[in-house]
Amino acid sequence: MMGDDTTAAGFLLLSVQELAVGVRTEQGQAAFYIGELYQRVMQKLIAVALRNVADCDTAEDIAHEVFVDKVVVRHLSEYSDGNFMGWLCTCVQNRCKSYHKSAVQRREQLTDDASLDGRRGDLQAASPEVEALNDLAFQWAWERFDQEASDL
């Protein structure tokens, strides 16, 4: 783009849309474009995420993950010309929806695991036969261990 002395000043004159185009086209200076783009859009992305999740840390994590995934790693390969900020904000909203879906699935899994553990405990406590078999197996294993230890 420009010489090293005027590069920073040149980035200040570019719009967010032009910075996004620069990330895709200027591979040699992509780091400069990405850094300037990060400074300009991150607060807005966090605000969008905060509208969708209640926790500030989670919102910041989601916004950062989207920026890194879409801009840094993929160099905007999924972005087609148009409103860059609108596209990036939509990506953040979609990631928030995915976060909520996975949170619901985690809660359901924990509930299922807890109910299964409760049922297993009920079956074992309710069955004297199972307790007797466990006691016999333990007693046999202990006697075997004691015998082998004394043989040494």
pLDDT along the chain (152 residues), means of 10: 54 85 86 92 96 92 95 84 90 94 82 64 56 66 64 60
pLDDT of residue 126: 47
- Round to whole Å and give the CA distance between 141 and 2: 79
* pTM for the predicted model, two decimal places: 0.63
Cα torsion 140, 145, 150, 151: sign: positive
pLDDT of residue 99: 92
pLDDT of residue 144: 64
- Round to whole Å and give the CA distance between 104 and 2: 50
- Round to whole Å and give the CA distance between 112 and 116: 6
pLDDT of residue 12: 72
pLDDT of residue 115: 65
Contact 87, 67 (CB under 8 A): no
- Round to whole Å and give the CA distance between 18 and 64: 21
